[in-house]
Amino acid sequence: MQIEHLYGGSALAAVDAGGRVRLPGFVRETVERRSDATYLVLGPHESDSCLTGYDPAWRRFLFDDSERLRLRDEEAGAGAAKHYARARRAFGLAEQAEIDGDSRIALPPLARRLARIEDRALFVGTGGAFEIWNPELAARSGDPALAELARWRLGDDGNRSPEQEEE
């Protein structure tokens, strides 16, 4: 699968009590360029304590990648348990989030709980998809670049990011 438009950038956004959050510009623009979708798909990240978000067409890539990994594992003599765990996470735990006229989505309750997202969300582009983090967890992550980004967006490094927190 070839994707012409990729998710790149980061932003800190406010999350209201009902779990609604306005999509940052880099997400809105990429969704608009990639499809005419009126919803995003959100699910748990494969290895980190965050959400992965993408437009519906990205599901095909996830399926193809899952099948590639299944075949690789089978050739190596591994059982099917890894494949089904990967498939459940990518497809069974993923939920749709409708994009309203104000470019807001409601984070699905289970997804929000899994990522421990409270009153703010850190959006981080990862190419074909994007991540949504609890910014405090991102600031304490084992990834030095992500931690630095989160601290900068939160203003915990003594500076404020050049952009205002998106509402």
* pLDDT tens sequence across 40-53: 999 999 889 999 99
Classify residue 161: in a domain, yes or no.
no
Checking if the pLDDT of 165 tops 70, the result is: no
Classify residue 4: in a domain, yes or no.
no
Burial label, 62 (beta-carbon count in 10 A; 0-12, 13-18, 19+): buried
Q: What is the pLDDT of residue 1?
A: 45
Confidence class for position 164, pLDDT limits 50, 70, 90: very low
Residue given tokens 């931690």 in the structure block:
147
Classify residue 46: in a domain, yes or no.
yes
Q: How many domains does the chain have?
A: 1
52-110: pLDDT as tens digits: 999 988 888 888 888 888 888 888 888 778 888 888 878 888 999 999 999 999 999 99
Helix (H, G, I), strand (E, B) or coil at 15: strand
CATH number at residue 18: 3.40.1550.20
| Domain span holding position 97 | 10-154
